[in-house]
Amino acid sequence: MASVPDYFRIALINLSHRRTRAYLTMVGIFIGIAAVVSLISLGQGLKDAVGEQFASIGTDKIIVQGASLGQGPPGTGAVSNLTDKDLKVVNSVHGVKLTAARLLRSVKIEFHGNVVFVLAGSMPQDESRKLVIDALNVDLISGRMIQPSDTFKVTIGNDYISKDIFDRPLKLGDKIKINGYDFEVVGILDKTGRPVGDNTVLINEKTLRQILNVAENYDGIFAQVEKADDVEKVVANIERALRKSRDVDEGKEDFKVQSSTSFLESLNTILSIVQTVLVGIAGISIIVGGIGIMNTMYTSVLERTKEIGVMKAIGAKNSDILAIFLLEAGLLGMVGGLIGIILGMGLAKLVEFAAYSAFGKSLIQASFPPYLIVGALLFSFIIGSISGIWPAMQASRLKPVDALRYE
């Protein structure tokens, strides 16, 4: 009775005699595995990066947004219905430590004859300013953050000095027009890696209201709770207070209240769904690869009919023949999986490098947990083995006399 190492040795020898066919057979497997590994690693890396961003903001933050028409960030073509009254209601809820409200609106910036439309964010001019700065989680590379007493001064995102938005990069002291008003650049933010954040401009609330001709509406309200452990309880209290204040029934709210933790969970759910769909599409290639292995192994059975007859004539059992052919199919899948893992890791790292080059920070980091590598190898081996079951059974059932007579 042959041992398992003997089966492996025979399977490897047989595959080495048919290298070209083996390589071609593995194409479908390693393309599929490469796609799966790269997509899962990038998806996990993106989740980790998003988690780090939210961790830096803190788990004690709550975001209130009004009903809006259209999609995208608040203020980008949306209709907001949060008011100063809502801000006072949120601030009065038990468990809320501090609140801050912001405007996020599209504005027109002109510089040296060039015109762009970007997102402007308001900065509170009271004690709630610190909450917004903490939530933004940004650093300055030059100049200063606009001060509460500033009028017609602006702190700009990093894109204005690192990308060709205008005919030359902006610098401290430059004069720009925002919605037709003259502003002076007093600060430049460090790159965040977030496209919206790097493209925004920060303006004091009173000044932004003036140039937009907006009376009291807000696009978002931030709330910081006294105890992070009570954040979901406070979310429920805010929802209840706003329903009463705005006279709306439960389930028909024209506002949305989310903690930073629940917002992260919602975002991760969306990322997981997208990732699953993409992996499912990549799985089609793996199925095609499995069919290729089945075809190759069946052809191999036909070509080696006499060899099978000789093996049976000298004492090989049906189980021995079955084991050899199953191992060959499994090894085809596993080697294809190994090549796919290497390609997938390379592709993921290439995307990571491209993202770093584009955004200047590691917004996307490819993550390769051990379970992904081991799982991909085992999966490719299993797919190969399953694909080889039918040809292997055909080979094991051949009668020695018929096999030796085969032409």
DSSP assignment string, 117-136: EEEEEEE-SSTTHHHHHHHH
pLDDT (0 to 100) of residue 150: 93
Q: Does residue 226 sit in the same domain as residue 284?
A: no
352-406 pLDDT tens trace:
888 777 665 556 778 888 888 888 888 888 888 888 888 778 777 777 666 555 5
Picking from 207, 242, 259, the residue at the C-terminal end of a domain is 259
Number of domains into which the chain is organized: 2
Q: Residue 239: which H helix or E strand, with range?
A: helix 231-246
Decide which of 259, 276, 299 is a domain's last residue.
Answer: 259
Task: Specify whether the CB–CB gap between 359 and 193 falls below 8 A.
Answer: yes
Separation between Cα atoms, residue 301 and residue 398, nearest integer Å: 10
Cα–Cα dist 258/78, whole Å: 19
Query: How far is residue 53 from each of residues 37, 264, 364, measured CA to CA in Å?
Result: 24, 10, 12
Band of the pLDDT at 4, cuts 50, 70, 90?
low
DSSP-assigned letter for residue 229: G
Range of the domain at 21: 4-53+266-405
H/E stretch holding 141 reads strand 140-143
Q: Give SS3 for 321.
A: helix
- 171 and 146 in a single domain? The answer is yes
Distances from the Cα of 407 to the Cα of 6, 110, 307, 352, angstroms: 28, 83, 12, 55
Q: Would you state the pLDDT for residue 379?
A: 85
Secondary structure of residue 103 in the 3-state scheme: coil
105 and 202: one domain?
A: yes
Q: In terms of domains, do 89 and 46 share one?
A: no
- The answer, yes or no, to whether residue 205 has pLDDT greater than 50, is yes
Whether residues 305 and 218 share a domain: the answer is no
Report the percentage of the chain scoring pLDDT > 70: 83
Same structural domain for residues 253 and 295?
no
| Cα–Cα distance, 2 to 11 (Å, whole number) | 13
Sequence letter at residue 50:
V
Is residue 284 domain-shared with residue 385, that is, in the same domain?
A: yes
pLDDT of 71 higher than 70: no
Residue 355 to residue 363: CA distance in whole angstroms: 7
Question: Which segments within 269-345 are labelled E, that is strand?
Answer: none
Burial level of 247, CB count in 10 A (0-12/13-18/19+)?
Answer: exposed
pLDDT, position 54: 63
Are 22 and 83 found together in one domain?
no
Do residues 117 and 245 both lie within one domain?
yes
State whether 115 and 160 are in the same domain: yes
Q: Kindly report, residue by residue over 265-310, the tens digit of the pLDDT.
A: 777 777 778 778 777 777 777 777 778 777 777 777 766 677 777 7
The greatest distance separating any two alpha carbons of the chain, rounded to the nearest whole angstrom, comes to: 99
Residue finishing a domain among 259, 279, 312:
259
pLDDT at 201: 94
Closest CA to 261 of 291, 228, 287: 228
Residues 176 and 300 in one domain: no
Residue 243 has pLDDT above 60, yes or no: yes
Q: Could you tell me the pLDDT band of residue 170, with boundaries at 50, 70 and 90? A: very high
